[in-house]
Amino acid sequence: MKTNDRLLAIDSSGPGWRESVPDVPQQDVTLMRLIRVASQGITAFTDPMLRPAGLTESSFHTLVVIVASGKAGITPTSLCEQVGQNRANMTRILDLLLSDKLVRVDVHERDARRKRVTITAAGRKRVKTYASRFAPIVAESFGALSPKDKQTLEHLLRAVIASMDKAERIVSRNA
């Protein structure tokens, strides 16, 4: 329900954006806001389902990425990049997952700074349990799109993400 309200707010605030920030193309602002609403929509259905298990969307996403890394595991830095969290948040997430025995963190024998995170059997089971619960909700979330539409959306989102990477480099150079 809130997602539709957010869409209405985006639509009704368009003229105000145009007047108050004329140097930024309104369509670009609208696209950014739509992406944010979509992200909020994902959180709106994942967090309530995960809360009883002591998880959030971010901690579950972290578990999924660790499962996908296989037996080799993944570094905390790579987790930050793939999940979209800063180091402090990822440390907090990993501490919670460690305390629940869902992941294991191994320290390199010669260099204590190098770590690898791997999934435990309990973590793998938790991912499998919740992934099956999410399947019908995710399907419904994208139900309005045909397979071709989904392919097009994926292509466009990848292009936007690549552009954002370029924008981040501009910000880094000017910082």
- Determine how many CB atoms are found less than 10 A away from the CB of residue 55: 24
Span between the terminal Cα atoms of the chain, in Å: 40
Q: In whole angstroms, give the CA distance from residue 36 to residue 76.
A: 25
pLDDT at 20 over 80: yes
Q: What is the mean pLDDT of residues 128-150?
A: 93
Contact 43, 12 (CB under 8 A): no
Tokens linked to 147: 């397979």
Q: What percent of the chain has pLDDT over 70?
A: 99
In the numeric block, the tokens 């793939």 are attached to 82
Q: In whole angstroms, give the CA distance from residue 10 to residue 173.
A: 32
Residue 33, Cα to own-chain centre: how many angstroms? 16
Each residue of 45-72: pLDDT tens digit? Answer: 888 999 998 899 999 999 999 999 999 9
Each residue of 111-128: pLDDT tens digit? Answer: 777 889 999 999 999 999
- Could you tell me the pTM of the whole model? 0.81
